[in-house]
Amino acid sequence: MPALVFWIDVDNTLLDNDGIKEKQNQFLQTDLGPALTERYWELYEEVRKERGVVDIPLALQYFRERTSQEELSDYTFQHVASMFENFPFQKALFPHVLETMEYLNSIGTVVIVSDGDLNYQAEKIFSSALADAVSGRVLLFVHKQEHIEDIQQRYPADHWVIIDDKPKILFDVKQSMGDKMTTVFVKQGKYAKEPFPEAYVPDITVEHIADVRNVPAEQFWGQQKF
């Protein structure tokens, strides 16, 4: 039987990352007040521009290094760091995520392929039970579209499917793999209205991750038939 492998994203695909960020902001406002909270998010954006991805541990490191003890005691800083480290990610799963993963596992092999800071991203994936949902098949990269061949070799298939909320990543992967890859655009989160490069249209578009359960197995194969 031909093998189908799904590469599925995490932030704003399986996890409501925008909602997580808002809850974290509320916590910071309470613990730090408006001025220090604003400084933290400024450093968060500085790190994202510097590295090209979100890196919360590095943002926290900059925050500690650039904030005096008078403004921010070690006790308060550790309390803030603990919030990030122990955030209840499982409560931030989008509705019906685990049922969707179960459906995809029934018709192929599901691999979580995520990007960002490797340590914090791993914490999200394992503490939210997503790693269990894919039997530990988790690949983490700083920029996953730079590792397309590595992912193919690690999980070979007759056809691949990528499920993601970021138009540019879907475009880049499709450009690289052509008809061997079916792209699924999940219109969730802040990238939902972002235009695709060169007016590219994804193979499948859904409003919510739960809608993936309604896509027939044969549609994931796209133009590649067996």
Give yes or no for residue 149 having a pLDDT over 70: yes
The CA distance from 159 to 183, in Å, is: 11
Is 80 exceeded by the pLDDT of residue 224? no
Residues 83 and 99 in one domain: no
CATH of the domain at 180: 3.40.50.1000
Structurally, how many domains does the chain consist of?
Answer: 2
Residue 106, pLDDT above cutoff 70: yes
Report pLDDT for 225.
Answer: 53
> Is the same domain home to 84 and 100?
no
Whether 139 is in a domain gets the answer yes
pTM, 2 dp: 0.90
SS3 at position 160: strand
Same domain, 11 and 69: no
Domain final residue pick, 67, 89, 111: 89
In a domain, 226, yes or no: no
Dihedral angle computed from the Cα positions of residues 167, 125, 27 and 49, in that order, rounded to the nearest 10 degrees: -40
pLDDT score at 157: 95
Which of 19, 158, 152, 168 lies closest to 94, judged by CA?
19
Summarize pLDDT for 19-48 with one digit per residue, the tens. 999 999 999 999 999 999 999 999 999 999
> Is the torsion defined by CA of 41, 42, 48, 51 positive or negative?
negative
User: Tell me, what's the pLDDT at 131?
Assistant: 95
Q: Which of 36, 55, 89 is the last residue of a domain?
A: 89
Closest CA to 68 of 76, 79, 80: 76
Selection from 122, 82, 109, 115 nearest residue 220 by Cα: 109
Q: Are residues 29 and 10 in the same domain?
A: no
Asked whether residue 211 is assigned to any structural domain, the reply reads yes
In the β-sheet with 4-8, what is the strand arrangement from edge to edge? Answer: 138-141, 109-115, 4-8, 159-164, 181-186, 204-206
CB atoms within 10 A of CB 20: 18
- pLDDT of 1 > 70? The answer is no
Sign of CA dihedral 220, 182, 190, 49: positive
pLDDT tens digit sequence for 112-131: 999 888 888 899 999 999 99
Q: Which of 71, 89, 107 is the last residue of a domain?
A: 89
Give the separation between CA 171 and CA 175, rounded to whole angstroms.
Answer: 6
| Domain coverage including residue 26 | 17-89
